[in-house]
Amino acid sequence: MRYLLVVLVFLSSSFAYEFYAKLEPINSYMVKSSVNGKVIYTNDKIEGFKANNSKIIEIDSYVDRIDLKQSSNKLKAINNMIKIEDKNYSRLLKVSSKSGFEKDNQKLKVINFETTKADILVKIANLKDSIKNKKLVEKSNYIFNIAVKKGDYVNPGTLLYESKDLSRGKLEIFIPIADVEKVKNKTIYLDGKETKLKIDKIFNVADSKHISSYKAEIIIENPKTFSRLVKIEFK
């Protein structure tokens, strides 16, 4: 009886929790257009490679740039008109023979020009934002898929390309809720090799598909290969 008890204790202490997961990039992005316009450039050569401050997509911004230039010129003119009308109002205040009605009308001129200036400033900001969003540059992500071609017309929400952050990898597993506390402090083995990794995050809400499990993530720094199946053990 004593021998049997020792065997049971040994089996319990050496029990390993096994999972399998595909090693995926830490983040994947679906870059969609936020503007309307015609695609005038696609960097097809970068597809399947890591970007290096590379221009990926450019959407025609010719009309926006003309509009921005003219709006900037209009802003300068409005600023000059405000200065002139403001001086006229200051002078008018000093003339006692001028009625309050005339003075109020002059003040309204200044206010109207200020309102026009505010509208132009908003328009300039929107144009600058539109121009910026029509030239998409990636710093270092891997370009997975370019979904549009030169000559295509895109609308807000149109998928332009997909990119992935390959600096780190992510393993997602689903641990039965009853076992979560048991695996937290165990050693993680990947494909049979002991590691110093720990669970990076546990989502303490049952998964919509795995209704009796919590999703957990294990982060791996600088993995060499992705999309491979990895055996994960907690011992």
Domain covering 14-59+139-234, topology: OB fold (Dihydrolipoamide Acetyltransferase, E2P) (2.40.50)
DSSP 166-183: EEEEEEEEEEEGGGHHHH
Question: What distance in Å separates the CA atoms of residue 90 and residue 88, rounded to the nearest whole number?
Answer: 5
Average pLDDT, the chain: 89
Give φ, ψ of 77 to 5 degrees.
-65, -40
Low pLDDT (below 50) residues in the chain: 1-14
Two tokens, residue 179: 């076992």
Sheet holding 229-234, edge to edge: 17-22, 229-234, 188-190, 193-194
Confidence (pLDDT) at 205: 83
Q: Name 31's Cβ contacts closer than 8 Å, sequence gap at least 6.
A: 56, 136, 159, 160, 161, 162, 163
Confidence (pLDDT) at 5: 35
Domain locations in the chain? 14-59+139-234, 62-133
Residue 87 gets which letter from DSSP? Answer: H
